[in-house]
Structure 1
């Protein structure tokens, strides 16, 4: 609401699975012609030189293999070898893509409630800066709260309640004060009004 969050929203599990199926299907259903598509996806996600090299090399290999299949006679064994190369390239690129994508999503997932070590800090209205919450709706580490009771007396058991933002608590307190004020002054006015009749 007040600034850039810094992290793009996470994709849902359904979206991730759909993308995996589409990239795998592109390579397999084209008989290896589009085997470079999942490899380019890995190269874009990871950005390593090996991934870019594999993606660019797979493109002429798949096109060349399918050109051989289309130009040699059906009885020639070179056509069989070329088709096998194209299909192995397609299966290999899909397997490499799925392994890389699954590993990338497992590395990016962190347990809820713990801030990653590289997060920045947020400045609240009171107190020193504290680490920013890692996910929307999850509170980061909270500063210690002074105890209202001496250490020898046990704390009363209260049911756990959901954490609310400080602004809502402030408005709630102000409304309680206003309600008390109106009760006190409303009683006096009614008493004065009745006595004045």
Structure 2
């Protein structure tokens, strides 16, 4: 399977000053020859445009010039007196004016089209050739003020404000454990017995002798 062929590149048209000079030259040649070389303008146009219409008009104007020369040459004298002579003169001048008008209009239109096509293809790079990559610009140091922001879509909710993370609770030391009530009562009983013993011992100093 074959792909599409490559489009032929459009060549740069000649300078406008050169084109104007050629147009004036061919028109002057046609008028100074009294129309006998009017076909030269259309021959140049057909060679440039390469269109079948222009080649056909070139042949038609050439045939009209030849016919007008034959009719004018059939006059018996130097002046025109016969209808054939007037027909030849009318045909010669008519072909001259029509050929000059068509030549100028078609030539200007052709090169104007070429100039537009050439200007249109200049910014388009050839297929398959690498494109020059733009050089990266030095970026400023990253700070909080220059932090890049990602674009948000219309349906994306705005980002939540930054909240501090909750700190874990600080464990409190357990309260001191109180002695059991039974231990307190035992100590109190021992203290009572000790106080009774001391009281009894202090009241009877000779009881033990």
Please give the range of the TM-score, normalised by the shorter of the 2 chains: 0.5 to 0.7
Q: Pick from 87, 106, 124 the counterpart of residue 93 of structure 2.
A: 87
**Please, what TM-score do these two structures have when normalized by structure 2?**
0.53
**8 Å CA contact retained: 2:10, 2:117:** no
User: 1:18 matched to which residue of 2?
Assistant: 21
Q: Structure 1 unaligned runs (5+)?
A: 1-5, 124-128, 131-141, 154-197
Tell me the alpha carbon deviations over residues 73-127 of structure 1, each in whole angstroms, 9 at most, x when there is no partner: 422132122111111101111111100111112112249976448763585xxxx
Tell me the alpha carbon deviations over residues 49-78 of structure 1, each in whole angstroms, 9 at most, x when there is no partner: 111111122212201112211212422132
User: 1:54 matched to which residue of 2?
Assistant: 57
**Please, what TM-score do these two structures have when normalized by structure 1?**
0.56
Q: Structure 2 unaligned runs (5+)?
A: 1-8, 148-209
**8 Å CA contact retained: 1:28, 1:87:** no
CA RMSD, Structure 1 to Structure 2 (Å):
3.1
User: 1:161 matched to which residue of 2?
Assistant: none
Which structure is richer in relative contact order (CA contacts within 8 A, separation 6 or more)? 2
Tell me the alpha carbon deviations over residues 110-145 of structure 1, each in whole angstroms, 9 at most, x when there is no partner: 49976448763585xxxxx13xxxxxxxxxxx5333
Deviation at 1:13, TM superposition (A): 2.3
Highest Rg: 1 or 2? Answer: 2
Q: How many residues align?
A: 132
Secondary structure of the structure 2 residue equivalent to 1:109: helix
**8 Å CA contact retained: 1:24, 1:94:** yes
Secondary structure of the structure 2 residue equivalent to 1:45: helix
